[in-house]
Amino acid sequence: MNWYLGVLKNYAGFDGRARRKEYWMFALFNALITVVLEVLYAATKSNILMILLFVYILAVFVPGLAVGVRRLHDLNKSGAWLLIAFVPFIGGIWLFVLTCLAGTRGSNQYGPDPKLAAA
């Protein structure tokens, strides 16, 4: 849970680098919370839950972009690589592959290695 909260605390921090673990733990918790809210909404058809889901999605949009950019920085790539997701068919797959790759060892142009900083 600390990985998820850490991303939320660094709400709009687009500089620096993010480890795979930070990125994927945020994605996991984000998906779990979204699925729970969607299931609760589907079961109750409550407008309050629909609004809560919408507000949650809006609230985690910027932190999700920020951690995605930092993840790409760990690979020594520009955050603009996130836009590859808009390429039909292959774009999303390629972005998924990029986020699964190990980051650059040592410092790169985006900062020090977060793996070394955590150790």
What are the pLDDT digits (tens) for 72-117?
999 999 999 999 999 999 999 999 999 999 999 999 999 999 888 7
Mean pLDDT, rounded, for 14-27: 94
Mean pLDDT of the chain: 93
Is 65:23 a contact under the CB 8 Å cutoff? Answer: no
Could you state, in order of their start, the residue ranges of all structural domains in the chain? 2-118
pLDDT at residue 119, as a whole number:
60
pLDDT at residue 116, as a whole number:
83
Q: Inform me whether the pLDDT recorded for 118 exceeds 70.
A: no
Q: Which residues contact 50 (CB under 8 A, 6 or more apart)?
A: 41
C-alpha distances in Å from residue 116, one per residue of 17, 28, 35, 52: 12, 24, 34, 38
C-alpha distances in Å from residue 2, one per residue of 5, 28, 58, 74: 5, 12, 21, 20
